[in-house]
Amino acid sequence: MGSVIAFWILAALVVGSAVGLVVRRNPIHGALFLVVNLGGVAALYLMMHAEFLAAAQVIVYAGAIAVLFVFAIMVLIPGKEETGPDPLRAQRWLAVPLGGFLALEIALVLRSTVFTTSRSPATVPGGVEAVGRLLFTDYLFPFEVTSFLLLAALIGVMALTKRKAS
C-alpha cells in the first residue's frame, strides 16, 4: 500500500515537472524542472530495486547533464533579457538558514547507520554486478554498437563545426 501511494506521488511529480519543462518560457526554470524530473525518475528506479540505475541516473543525468544544460544556458543567454529581474529578491536572506538546515540534515544522515549494512552493494539484484553481467553477456552486441553510435555522433559534430571554423 505504501509503495502504491509513493508511486502515485512520484508519478505526479515526474509528469508535472515534465509539463513544467515544456511550458515555462524561462530556460533556467525549464532546466530546474528537468532536474526534478530526472530525480523523480531515479526515485522510480529505486522503487523497482534498480539501485545501480538510480545512482547512475542521479550522477549522470541529474548531476552532469543538467549542470551542463544550466551552464550552456547561462553562457548563451547574456544578461537578463530572457530571465528578467529577480522577482523573489526578498527571499534571498532565506538561503542562509535553509543552507544551514540542509547541512544539518546531511550530517544527521551520515551519522545514522545507513552505510553500515552487511549486504555488499555490488551483489544485490539491481546492483552493479547484475547490470554489468547483462551488459557484457546478453547485451554485448548492443553495447558495442552503442560505442559505434557515439563515434558516429562525434564525427558528425566534428564535421558540422570544423567547416565553420575554416
Partner 1 sequence: MLPLISFRAIAPGMALAATACLLLLLDLLPTRGRKDHLAVVGLAGVVLSMILSLGLWGSDERAFNGMVRLDGFALFFNLVIGFATGLVLLLSIDYLRRQGMESGEFYILVLFSAVGMTLMAGAGDLIVIFLGLEVMSLSLYVLAGWFEGRLEAGEASMKYFLLGAFASGFFLYGIALIFGATGSTNLDRIAVAVAGGAARDPLLIIGFGLLVAGFGFKISSVPFHMWTADVYQGAPTSVTALIATGSKAAAFAALLRVLLSALRTVQPDWAVLFWGLAVLSMTAGNVVALAQQNIKRMLAYSSIAHAGYILVGVVAGGALGGGGVLFYLLVYTFTTAGAFGVILLLERDGREAVAVSDLAGLATRHPVLALTFSVFLLSLVGIPPTAGFVGKFYLFGAAVRTGYVWLAVIGVVNSAIAAYYYLRLIVFMYMREPEGSPTVLVPSLPAGLALAVALWGVVQLGVLPAPFLDLAQAAVIPLLR
Q: How many CB atoms sit inside 10 A of residue 16's CB?
A: 14
Residue 146 CB, nearest approach to partner 1 (Å): 6
Q: Which residue has the cell 530571465?
A: 83
Stretch that binds partner 1, among 30-38, 68-76, 120-128, 144-152 (CB under 8 A): 144-152
Give the amino acid at 95: A
Among 80, 89, 119, 163, binds partner 1 (CB under 8 A): 163
Question: Binding-site residue total for partner 1 (CB under 8 A)?
Answer: 22
Q: Grid cell 558495442 — which residue? A: 144
Count of residues for the chain?
Answer: 166
Alpha-carbon gap, residue 138 to 132, rounded angstroms: 10
Round to whole Å and give the CA distance between 65 and 12: 23
Stretch that binds partner 1, among 29-37, 42-50, 70-78, 155-163 (CB under 8 A): 155-163
Does residue number 132 form part of the binding site for partner 1 (CB under 8 A)? Answer: no
Q: List the x/- string, 78-117, binding to partner 1 by CB under 8 A.
A: ----------------------------------------
